[in-house]
Chains A and B, each alone.
Chain A
Amino acid sequence: MPTGARGRTPSTISINVKLMEKYRFKQKSRAVEFLGEKFIALNAFIAIIAVLLIFIFIFKESIPIFTSSDVQKEASLHKMMIKQVYYEGRDAKWSWQPNSDVPKYSLLPLFIGTLKAAIIAMLVAIPLGVGAAIYSSEFSSKHIREIIKPAIELFAGIPSVVLGFFALMILATPLQKILGSTFRLNAINAGIALGFAVIPIIFSIAEDALTSVPRSLREAALALGASQWQVSLTMVLPAALPGIVAGIVLGFGRAIGETMIVLMASGNAAIISGSLTDSVRTFSATIAAELAEVVYGSTHYNVLFFIGTLLFIFTFAINLCGEFVLVKLKTRLQGEY
């Protein structure tokens, strides 16, 4: 605090007595500070503890899959991953039919569905998000930038249920006409809406990375006679690349975990197919749709929690990668110069 410093060296600086009175440290405030600091520290640790506890409790509910032989009869790891023959004389298949007389808990259709929706979302969000970030940080005038940045970041504030509703009611029909697809609700429809949820994440991280490239780097290149394009493409972009990659990775994590949009816009049919115009059912939508009414403690219940554990691990690993790349970028930009 500048006033504190001023107070300790009265001989050299003229003192405004009133101001000093106002900011004079009282003995009492030390205790308050101490408590305040501890309180803030506690908050920080609560976040960590909460994440840990959530993981433990979710995982705990899925443990019977590994220990109970009753549960394993219907849903062992093997049965969830490998093709099964469910009815004598019929072909083996992967199938998600938990409420059947012969319950089927194959996770592969759900996994493929999750991946399909997320990949389409990335195909939409990467060009738009990264493109907008490059334009905003490198080429746009200050005024335009001040419009673009909040406008895109506003997307992050749109509740996903609104995006899902938009895809379900408005986007799906014209999209079906354009694609000529059999299914009105399909992976592409859900993926596009999902993309809009991911764009602000990619944009803001990539934009931050681009603008935090040191001025000295640009100025050096400009002094050597490089054009604006050359500076952006050959100097700034490579320097900020890890940040852009981190944004993409974090965006992918969001796309995998996002629930409401896919629940509403994807059609939720658990099919294994390579076609992007088929309906898809994702992990997150499956949990959202089925957990509310599942019988407590049943195999189905355990499997849903197992899916939750998988989702947790996926998104945690992806976010960890993203953060790791970001830290690398920071040391690279700040350490070398």
Chain B
Amino acid sequence: MRRILVITTVFFIIAGLVAGGSSITIKGSDTLVRLGQRWAEEYMKNNKGVVIQVSGGGSGTGIAALLNGTTDICQASRDMKEKEYKLAAQKGIDVYRISVALDGIAVFLHEDNPVDELSFSQLKGMFTGAITNWNEVGGPDHRIILYGRENNSGTYAFFKKKVLNKEDYSDYTQTLPGTAAVVNAVSKDKYGIGYGGIAWAKGVKFAAVRKDNNSQAVMPSLETVSNGTYPISRELYWFFNGAPKGEIKKLVNWALSAEGQKIAEEIDYVPLPKELALKNEVK
């Protein structure tokens, strides 16, 4: 028993020393937490001695942590609000923002579904349960079967905010673990509709999305998300207190490099357009 105690104590002391060596804290958006973690893992693999701690909690939590000086990097899937910028100025924090990746949410339909494009208001009606039949949006006379993500997923929250205007999803939305499961369900359900990252497309078709009645319907793709024409997309940010220096600067520039962006693409984020990534690099 005593030996175990000694071993654990030694372990914690060593862990503490290592963490004290060169440690970076990353905190914030739940949407970005997966990307942050992957980047941290890869970076730590290639740079022994650096310890990066990544945690979620939401963009708001991350921004609060940045303002309180308890995190080095704040991940956020939204820009800071005016109020938050003011608060930062009061606290003498020089907010430095760069976008590190993009995020686009596609709407999936069954391949045999005659509907090709949907507007924001139609999507909202369908997912809130106001529109329940495909013939109301130009499809066959059949009930719409809704598929979505679990309610703690960032995709769930983003789609809800952007398309549903923060209204609740219909109770009849079937929630599935992971985008792959949503795609699979829609691919097997003639009257199904779902949403998820644009990297997932096997066996389903994308709906072109129109922001309103006057605008063009746009198909989601790496290009349309990159150039901002696809309406259900957003920039994902890292915030710092002042321009990053030293190890953090190295980490940021690596994340923006071709290697870092490739990792982002591998786990279904949309990489930044090359020029933007170059522009964002910390000099």
Contact = CB atoms under 8 A, between A and B. Distances in A.
B103 to A, nearest CB: 17
Contacts, number: 68
A168 B57 CA distance: 31
Interface string B124-156: 000000000000000000010100001111001
Interface stretch (B11-19, B177-185, B260-268): B177-185
Contact of A271 (B152, B153, B172, B185): B172
Interface stretch (B89-97, B113-121, B163-171, B249-257): B163-171
B86 interface: no
Interface in B170-209: 171-177, 181, 184-185, 188-189, 192
Query: Which of B168, B174, B188, B189 has the most chain A CB within a 10 Å cutoff?
Result: B174
Contacts of A101: 166
Interface of A: 95-101, 104, 109, 168-169, 172-173, 182-185, 263-264, 267-271, 279, 281, 289-290, 292-295
Interface string B39-81: 0000000000000000011100000000000000000000000
Interface of B: 30, 56-58, 143, 145, 150-153, 156-157, 166, 168-169, 171-177, 181, 184-185, 188-189, 192
Nearest to B174: A267
B57 A295 contact: yes
Contacts of B56: 293
Contacts of A100: 168
A269 B175 contact: yes
A294 B166 contact: no
Nearest to B157: A99
A184 B184 CA distance: 12
A185 B175 contact: no
A173 B184 CA distance: 12
B151 A184 contact: no
Contacts of B58: 295
Contact of B152 (A99, A169, A264): A99
Given A101-B166, A183-B145, A184-B188, A279 B172 contact: yes
Nearest to B189: A184
Contacts of A109: 171
A97 B151 contact: yes
B151 A290 contact: yes
Contacts of A264: 177, 181
A182 B145 contact: yes
Contact of A268 (B30, B143, B175, B192): B175
Given A99-B156, A290-B150, A185 B171 contact: no
A271 B30 CA distance: 27
Contacts of B188: 172-173, 184
27 contacts: A95-B168, A95-B171, A97-B168, A97-B171, A99-B157, A100-B168, A101-B166, A109-B171, A168-B181, A172-B188, A173-B188, A183-B145, A184-B145, A185-B185, A263-B177, A267-B176, A268-B150, A268-B174, A269-B174, A279-B172, A289-B152, A289-B175, A290-B152, A293-B30, A294-B152, A295-B57, A295-B58
A124 B57 CA distance: 43
Nearest to B190: A184
Nearest to A101: B166
Contacts of A104: 168
Contact of B169 (A97, A182, A295): A97
A269 B151 contact: no
A185 B174 contact: yes
Nearest to A296: B57
Nearest to B186: A184
A293 B152 contact: yes
Nearest to A169: B184
Contacts of A267: 174-176
A96 B150 CA distance: 12
A295 B153 CA distance: 12
A173 to B, nearest CB: 6
Contacts of B145: 182-184
Of all A-B residue pairs in the complex, the 8 with the closest CB atoms, nearest first, are A267-B174, A293-B152, A99-B151, A268-B175, A289-B150, A269-B174, A100-B168, A279-B174
